[in-house]
Copies of this chain bind each other. A is one copy, B any other.
Amino acid sequence: MTAPQNLSFAVLGTGALGGFYGGLLARSGHEVHFLVRSDYDYIKQHGLQVDTPLGDFHLNTVNVYSRPEEMPPVDCVLVCWKSTVELASPQTLAQALNQLCRQGNSFALVLQNGLDVESTAANILGAKRVMGGCCFLCSNKIGPGHIQHLDYGRIAFGEYSMDFRGQVTERMKTVSSAFESAQIPNTPAQDLRTARWKKLVWNIPFNGLSVALQADTRQLLNDPHTTYLVEALMGEVQHAASMCGIHVEDEHVQRMLTDTRAMVPYDSSMLLDFRAGRPIEVEAIFGNPLRAALAAGFTPTRIEMLYQQLCFLDRQNLSS
């Protein structure tokens, strides 16, 4: 659980998420190694551009790799692939983590959306070498090696192993310091699962209904029928969490509604993916919580129905 004070990082997936956080860490002087798929040649030649309200910046020289076996061992691997990306298969992740985490105290921090997205990394490294984080980030990749950060950016992260539940470990403090030094707002969470379920309170209604109904957040909250549905879905997430032993306070649910009402109209990231013809993260965000609830003896009927609708829409979208 200890880690060197000046952490080195590998970033798996240099898109809207990995490009932004990795870029901030590299700019602040951390050693960062990026695994890059489609933009490898471009970034190798031109570097990485990040547009952000924090102050645009450009990294001229970036440590980029197209294959994990060429990368050096690091302290912390940030898993930033979307769960739907083919590269994020268990085989590829195993290859990458075994290469990058050769040092005994190295670990992975899984920044994917959804529930239980750390399990693959935990199977490879062991649960005690895995952390997970929820990113509250509004960011897009708008061109090769070009990230546009729009708003937010906080990472709520914690230990995956139940052995560390209720603790802010030394390793978490080290990660938090690294994030602080890189201007990444962050919240070390004593319980990762609580953080994940709390994020689902927003993601399940707004990501799901935005795709099912092709609507932005304001449209959903300006109509009494969909407002009812948003609240009912939030209630199901809260109850599912409770059945899984996770307490989500009523105040959190209310705050998600109030905050979303106060936001500018917002197309969810899932809707953006859907409209761009990309796969949507239906298993990580809907399938996994649904299965967790069912295993705990609760059938969240609306979540289940939304899951089924999204599975259908995703399939139609990808085959069209």
Query: Could you list which residues of chain A lie within 8 angstroms of chain B, going by C-beta atoms?
Result: 212-213, 215, 219-220, 223, 225-226, 228-229, 232, 301-302, 305-309, 311-313, 315-316
CB neighbours of A228 from chain B (8 A) = 308
CB neighbours of A219 from chain B (8 A) = 316
The 9 closest A-B pairs by CB, nearest first: A225-B308, A225-B311, A301-B301, A226-B312, A229-B308, A223-B312, A225-B312, A302-B305, A305-B305
A177 to B218, CA, bound (A): 56
A232 to B302, CA, bound (A): 12
- With A223-B312, A223-B315, A312-B223 in contact, is A305–B229 under 8 Å at CB? yes
A302 to B219, CA, bound (A): 22
A313: nearest residue on chain B (CB-CB)?
Answer: B213
A219: nearest residue on chain B (CB-CB)?
Answer: B316
A315 to B232, CA, bound (A): 20
Pairwise interchain contact A309-B213, C-beta atoms closer than 8 A: yes
CB neighbours of A307 from chain B (8 A) = 225
Pairwise interchain contact A316-B215, C-beta atoms closer than 8 A: yes
CB neighbours of A316 from chain B (8 A) = 213, 215, 219
CB neighbours of A301 from chain B (8 A) = 301-302, 305
CB neighbours of A215 from chain B (8 A) = 312, 316
A189 to B219, CA, bound (A): 44
A sample of 30 cross-chain residue pairs with beta-carbon separation below 8 angstroms, ordered by A number, consists of A212-B212, A212-B213, A213-B309, A213-B312, A213-B313, A215-B312, A215-B316, A219-B316, A220-B312, A223-B311, A223-B312, A225-B307, A225-B308, A225-B309, A225-B311, A225-B312, A226-B308, A226-B309, A226-B312, A228-B308, A229-B305, A229-B308, A229-B309, A232-B305, A301-B301, A301-B302, A301-B305, A302-B305, A305-B305, A305-B306
- In the assembled complex, how far is the CB of residue A78 from the closest CB belonging to chain B, in whole angstroms? 33
> Other CB < 8 Å A-B pairs besides A212-B213, A301-B305, 4 of them?
A219-B316, A223-B311, A225-B308, A229-B309
